[in-house]
Structure 1
Amino acid sequence: MTTPEYDTVIVGAGFSGIGAAIKLDNAGMGNYLVLEAGDGPGGTWYWNTYPGIAVDIPSFSYQFSFEKSPDWTRSYAPGHELKAYAEHCVDKYGLRHKIRFNTKVLAADFDDDANLWHLRTDPGGVVTARFLINACGVLITPNFPDIDGVDSFSGVTMHTARWDHGQDLTGKRVAVIGTGASAVQVIPEIAPIVERLTVFQRTPIWCFPKPDVPLPPVVRKLMRLPGGHTVQRWLSQAYVELTFTLPAQYFTLNPMAKRMSKFGEAYLRQQVRDPVVRDKLTPRYAVGCKRPGFHNTYLSTFNRANVELVTEPIDKITGTGVATADGQTRDIDVLILATGFKVMDPDSVPTYAVTGPGGRSLSSYWNEQRLQAYEGVSAPGFPNFFTVFGPYGYVGSSYFALIEAQTHHIVRCLTHARLNRATRVEVKQEANDRYFAEMMRKRHRQIFWQDSCKLANSYYFDPNGDVPLRPATTLEAHWRARRFPLDDYAFSA
């Protein structure tokens, strides 16, 4: 039997990878390596540094339950504080020497005879491991728009996920393509300094006020008291569950969800003076079909004289500007692509090629069989492979709730394998089929299957027309991570 270099390799040093590493150490499984493409930890908060970036759920929920920070300065932490929190966790839990930075995983190939993974990396080299944990996030790989001439623009082009801080936008003519979550944050930040800002919108986003306030010293002191963190976290979790998870996952059973559109429309009327612009900013789909925005000045930014909202389809991008289908061309100096990420694309999740026994490709499996994974963690036919953000794992609340549930699931499997001296762990086909059937049976109550969502152009929908979000609450996901039957997996030497 071939002995691999590591028992486990974790791909990604964002919070998923950090959480998985801490969980392995706590279980006494310290022979692991974390591979990270960037030169520092943080994942989403390493790659995304655009002006105005901040978390869109309360800081008290956006952290590990076992490592609550007393250092948040606002109720919704800005991006640099999340990056600092990642650095803090890496150092406090002694992970840095187990992370290989500036190392991009190109492919993972399973050796069926030796029951181990070969990971090809850039810089060149191969790392072997018995088990592979995919901890790549979904808000990392930029989605570049398929627009004619997008590469021909002679000015400055940048995606929000790869912001160039060397560019000064002061006094420039700037175009932003997209009105999703990143655009909601960046548009109000740059509008006051540019000469002219043109926002090209395909589909409007529901935007709600954000209870984002500075945390005064007295509140931060309370966070350091025994129990103070716990109270704040539970209140925060309840808020997150009530404002997204329950309305989205239990839309047909939750009358409050149906009233959120009225609240959104009222906020629009309050914020936007011009009735024509207001109408353009009004979504024609129900709240929750796509993730809403939360910002206190996004909508009012369209009252500014130097901001124009364009809803005509883009025809092409020229060397000097953006041409729309009505024949107009708006000359610009800077083109900002706020076009999101490849979230539900089987060819981009994970961000590297995964090949199982017999040359079976994970992306091909998902393309042919639809996105699916047992409890959002494991796919049949891909032994010793686990993923933190897998299909039908995420319920829509804090990513940290997902990370803690899924890493608990993974470590339960690895602990059982160690106790039984198993070198191969694979979810059974019947277990996967049972779970997938359950997801299909329950999804009718989700918001996504209501008629109005056909107008949303939501990234939640994958190429097969599915929405691989788990129709459950956060508590149910946590309970099942601790109670799923271990005999749903096959363990062998």
Structure 2
Amino acid sequence: MSAPPPLDVAIVGAGFAGLGAAIRLRHKGIHNFVILERGTAVGGTWRDNTYPGAACDIPSRLYSYSFAPNPDWSHTYSGSEEILTYIEHMVREYDLEPSIRFRHNVTSLDFDETAGLWTVAVEGQPALHARAVVVASGPLSNCSFPNIPGIETYEGHKVHSARWDHGYDFADKKVAVVGTGASAVQIVPELVKNAESVKVFQRTPGWVLPRVNRRTSGATKALYRQLPAVQSAARQAWFWGHETVALGVVWKTPLTRAVELVGQAQLRAQVKDPWLRRQLTPDFRAGCKRLLMTSDYYPALQRTNCKLVTWPIVRISPKGIRTAEGIEHQFDCIVFATGFDVSKTGTPIPIRGRGGKVLADEWSRGAYAHKSVAVSGYPNLFFTFGPNSGPGHNSALVYMEAQIDYITEAVRIIVERDLTMLDVRRDRQDTYNARLQRRLRRTTWNSGCSSWYLTEDKFNATMFPGFATEFAHQLRAVDMADFDAVAQPRLVERR
């Protein structure tokens, strides 16, 4: 039995990025692709993050694709269920389900220079072959419990925020929440409504800004449906408003102090106890870590059944958590709101390129790419939300949409020109990253605090040091001078 013909594109992941890439490939006339999804449903991060209070901290008008507008967002900021509904609607609207292969967990990628094909190994399935691969699994797809001594001895119930246990009843339970980041500040206000007691274990307080979440009126929804240009204008207004925030959080400017004053004003208004205010006051510059958008977290901490613990955790005991001052706090359940296993060094799966090069080895001290989407020595391989594409002030989907349009144009060039290889030039990649790292040294993210943006060696492989408009501008077109292109050999007919 002969092997099936190779795919034009294999897309890894059926979240926002993978589905968006599929939609734009079809727009460019490319239909010979599959989407490989390890789970049983679409949605990625928003399928997995279903903890109570889960919501986006970017306005819905911006946290959606411009080519797939939704006039029916219920609030300024949408919850996870509504975002997942939007993703599922895209699948139906663009008839993507026939192209999705569920329960297809990609385990490795290997490039064949002679054939110009990627071999895509899939757990428990025959390998696939594709001319191009789009890795759209994203940085927020894997999670694990933190490496705290004794965690394996805990006899109570453990829950990770990204793998919520909806079968566990928190009512009348003594609950610990480890972590005070973006997930924790949404979880705690919900837990205090039902739990007997909640103790929140804080390592570092963050900058907390108010989030005003207004309901969208029926008249506004009707207007957006009848006049899509009005919705587009509203999206642009939100976009430019967020662009100005870069001046306060990406670099240290007078606006940085303005952001901090807003956070301090909310802290003073909502927390009356001076000692608690002191415990909740950050000692780093606003923007150095992710800003936390919530108006509910501080009031929840002051509920009679809630307590903030700032002593460092020493170990997990069979009954609970021991802290540095010698106290053992006993719980029925520990919630770990400790984020994701973001790959800033190495790769989530083995990727082997030209000459047997292993990408994990090249990224061992920090990931890098050309314009965040491609790496020299790994032809026809593209990343969404790749190295240094993280926004600190605007919507991730604005950045992702720019990447998708660039990637799908590169794939179109590969297919239409019948290329075996479209490989980024090493010199262009090195020049780009040298300039990028010089610029990052002047940002708030590299100003001294510890965050998940940085490697242990303080290398920033995560964030883009500029405006969203600048990021999108660099990806507006595929500059062939950045690449070495190799065409398929032509057979010459003998006479």
Instruction: Work out whether 1:355 is the aligned partner of 2:352.
Output: yes
In the alignment, which residue of structure 2 is the partner of 1:278? 277
What code does the residue aligned with 2:82 have? E
On the 8 A contact 1:57/1:240 being kept in 2, the answer is no
1:35-434, aligned counterparts within 5 Å? Answer: 35-226=36-227, 227-243=229-245, 245-249=246-250, 251-252=251-252, 254-347=253-346, 349=347, 351-368=348-365, 370-396=366-392, 397-434=394-431
CA distance in 2, matches of 1:333, 1:345: 34
TM superposition shift of 1:200: 0.6
On the 8 A contact 2:12/2:136 being kept in 1, the answer is yes
Please, what TM-score do these two structures have when normalized by structure 2?
Answer: 0.94
TM superposition shift of 1:41: 1.0
What code does the residue aligned with 1:289 have? C
In the alignment, which residue of structure 2 is the partner of 1:442? 439
On the 8 A contact 1:205/1:293 being kept in 2, the answer is yes
On the 8 A contact 1:24/1:411 being kept in 2, the answer is yes
- Report the more deviating stretch, 6-15 or 301-310: 301-310
CA distance in 2, matches of 1:467, 1:299: 31
CA distance in 2, matches of 1:345, 1:463: 10
On the 8 A contact 2:409/2:478 being kept in 1, the answer is no
Pair 1:344–1:281, CA change in 2 (3 A): farther
CA distance in 1, matches of 2:407, 2:415: 12
What code does the residue aligned with 1:43 have? G
- Report the more deviating stretch, 51-60 or 409-418: 409-418
Once the two structures are superposed, residues 244-268 of structure 1 have per-residue CA deviations (whole angstroms, 9 ceiling, x without a partner) of x33233x14x321222112211211
Pair 1:410–1:3, CA change in 2 (3 A): farther
Match of 2:466 among 466, 469, 472: 472
- Report the more deviating stretch, 282-291 or 272-281: 272-281
Please, what TM-score do these two structures have when normalized by structure 1?
Answer: 0.94
CA distance in 1, matches of 2:373, 2:356: 21
Name the % identity: 36
Partner of 1:415: helix, strand, or coil? Answer: helix
CA distance in 2, matches of 1:331, 1:471: 44
CA distance in 1, matches of 2:8, 2:204: 46
CA distance in 2, matches of 1:463, 1:372: 16
What code does the residue aligned with 1:423 have? T
What code does the residue aligned with 1:52 have? G
TM superposition shift of 1:484: 4.9
Pair 1:26–1:58, CA change in 2 (3 A): same
TM superposition shift of 1:466: 1.9
What code does the residue aligned with 1:438 have? R
Which structure 2 residue ranges, 5 or more long, are not aligned? 488-495
Pair 1:25–1:224, CA change in 2 (3 A): same
CA distance in 2, matches of 1:420, 1:127: 22
On the 8 A contact 2:446/2:460 being kept in 1, the answer is no
TM superposition shift of 1:344: 4.4
Which structure 1 residue ranges, 5 or more long, are not aligned? none
Once the two structures are superposed, residues 403-447 of structure 1 have per-residue CA deviations (whole angstroms, 9 ceiling, x without a partner) of 211111112222222332211111000110111122023223311
On the 8 A contact 2:321/2:330 being kept in 1, the answer is yes
Once the two structures are superposed, residues 163-184 of structure 1 have per-residue CA deviations (whole angstroms, 9 ceiling, x without a partner) of 0100110000000100000001
- Report the more deviating stretch, 150-159 or 137-146: 137-146
C-alpha RMSD over aligned residues: 1.6
On the 8 A contact 2:384/2:403 being kept in 1, the answer is yes
- Report the more deviating stretch, 67-76 or 471-480: 471-480
CA distance in 2, matches of 1:122, 1:419: 31
Partner of 1:107: helix, strand, or coil? Answer: strand
TM superposition shift of 1:3: 7.9
CA distance in 2, matches of 1:259, 1:194: 37
Pair 1:256–1:344, CA change in 2 (3 A): farther
Instruction: Work out whether 1:487 is the aligned partner of 2:487.
Output: no
What code does the residue aligned with 2:329 have? R
CA distance in 1, matches of 2:134, 2:247: 29
- Report the more deviating stretch, 188-197 or 106-115: 106-115
Partner of 1:431: helix, strand, or coil? Answer: helix
What code does the residue aligned with 1:373 have? A
TM superposition shift of 1:125: 2.7
On the 8 A contact 1:110/1:117 being kept in 2, the answer is yes
On the 8 A contact 2:344/2:367 being kept in 1, the answer is no
User: What stretches of structure 1 move > 6 A for 4+ residues in a row?
Assistant: none
- Report the more deviating stretch, 97-106 or 393-402: 393-402
